[in-house]
Each structure stands twice: as structure tokens, then as C-alpha cells.
Amino acid sequence: MGVSLSKGANISLSDQVPGLKTVQVGLGWQARETEGEDFDLDACCFMLTASDKVRNDDDFVFYNQLKSPCGSVEHTGDELEGGSGGDDEVIMVRLDKVPDVIQKLLFTVTIHEYDTRRQNFGMVNSAYIRIVNDENNEEIARFDLSEDASTSTAMIFGEIYRHGGAWKFRAVGQGYNYGLEAMAQAYGVEVG
């Protein structure tokens, strides 16, 4: 069992596991029982420079672009239903292959077609992000998102970032409105 973090807290992954090379970023959630459409939540990773923007659209890993060209970030596939127990979606990160210009990996979850389905994170329970050492499958850190984000349709779950030559993880839990498109635009991805 890894270190449990509260919102805003961080931990040095490099200190916890010296020589850490590859992590699994597991994201999970449970949709509340509601009438209407099924939920389809999607995990994404923005690979950000010091300016908090992607260099180009290749630095955005999601269900339509499962791997970064450099091979450092790979989405293992879109789970269309979620709530299956355990991680609903996993993004692999090869820390030793992340280009030096990338300072932060931002892990987000959005609700697909939130507007037509009339869904938001207020209808989602037990959301979490966890960092797992790929070498031995041991959980290093975990953040359970507990606060109600009743109107948010996209959320930043957490981020892995460089600090003083080490890799750290921060529990974020920040909600956004207007889904994936608005979030992508905010981080410099060309949409449309």
C-alpha cells in the first residue's frame, strides 16, 4: 500500500524508489447509479513544458493518440464503461525517456459527451489516481478525490513533475467545465 495523499500534497517518487524508471498511472472511478445514458470517462496525459503548454499536439496522449512519439507516455486503451473494480484506465510512463524539455505530466479525466448526456463529476464516486512501480507492481502513492465536483465535466487528478533533478507526484483534484475541448485548448492543443 502506497502513501495516501491529500489534495495539494506531493511526494518524491525518486526518494521513495531510487532508480525508478517506469510507472503505471492508474485512474479509477465508479459512476453513480442514475437513469439515462451510460458514463464514458476518459483519461488523458498532457506533456507540458515550463510554460505549462504542450510543444505540439503530439504531446497530448489520449484515446485517439495512445502513445507519444518519443515513447515515454503510453495509454493502454480506452475503457468505455469503467467501474469494473481496480484501475479503469492506465497510462504507462517511462520516466527515463521523457524528453528533458517536458517538465510536467498532467493526468486528467473527462466525461465523454457530457453535454448531450447531461453528466458531471457530481455523478461519479470513488475517483482516484495511483502511481505504481511497473517493475514490481507496488503502489507508491495514491490520491482519492473526495470532494464533490458537482458541476465539473473534466478534472485534473494529479501530476508528475521534475524538481531539482528528481521526479515528484502532486495530488491535484481540480475541476474544469466544458470538458476535454476546453482543457485541451488551455494547454495548447489545437482543437477542431
pLDDT tens sequence across 135-157 = 999 999 999 887 666 678 888 99
Q: Is residue 24 part of a domain?
A: yes
pLDDT tens sequence across 13-36 = 999 999 999 999 999 888 766 666
Q: For residue 41, what is its C-alpha cell?
A: 470517462
pLDDT band for position 77 (cuts 50, 70, 90) = confident
Cβ atoms of 168 and 117 closer than 8 Å: no
Q: Is residue 192 part of a domain?
A: no
Q: Is residue 179 part of a domain?
A: yes
Q: Is residue 25 part of a domain?
A: yes
Q: Per-residue pLDDT averaged across 180-190, rounded?
A: 89
Domain total in the chain:
1
Q: Is the pLDDT of residue 110 over 70?
A: yes
Q: Is the pLDDT of residue 59 over 90?
A: yes
Q: Is residue 46 part of a domain?
A: yes
pTM listed for this prediction: 0.91
How buried is 101 (Cβ within 10 angstroms: 0-12 exposed, 13-18 middle, 19+ buried)?
exposed
Q: Is residue 191 part of a domain?
A: no
Cβ atoms of 104 and 98 closer than 8 Å: no
The percentage of residues in the chain with a pLDDT greater than 70, rounded to a whole number, is 90
Highest-confidence range of 27-31, 35-39, 82-86, by mean pLDDT? Answer: 27-31
CATH code (residue 104): 2.60.60.30
Q: Is residue 74 part of a domain?
A: yes
Q: Is residue 160 part of a domain?
A: yes
Distance of CA 141 to the CA centre of its chain: 14
Instruction: Identify the pLDDT of residue 181.
Output: 85
Instruction: Identify the pLDDT of residue 28.
Output: 87
More confident residue, 183 or 119: 183
Cα 151 to Cα 155: distance, rounded to the nearest angstrom: 11
Host domain of residue 126: 3-186
User: In 10 A of CB 175, how many CB atoms?
Assistant: 19
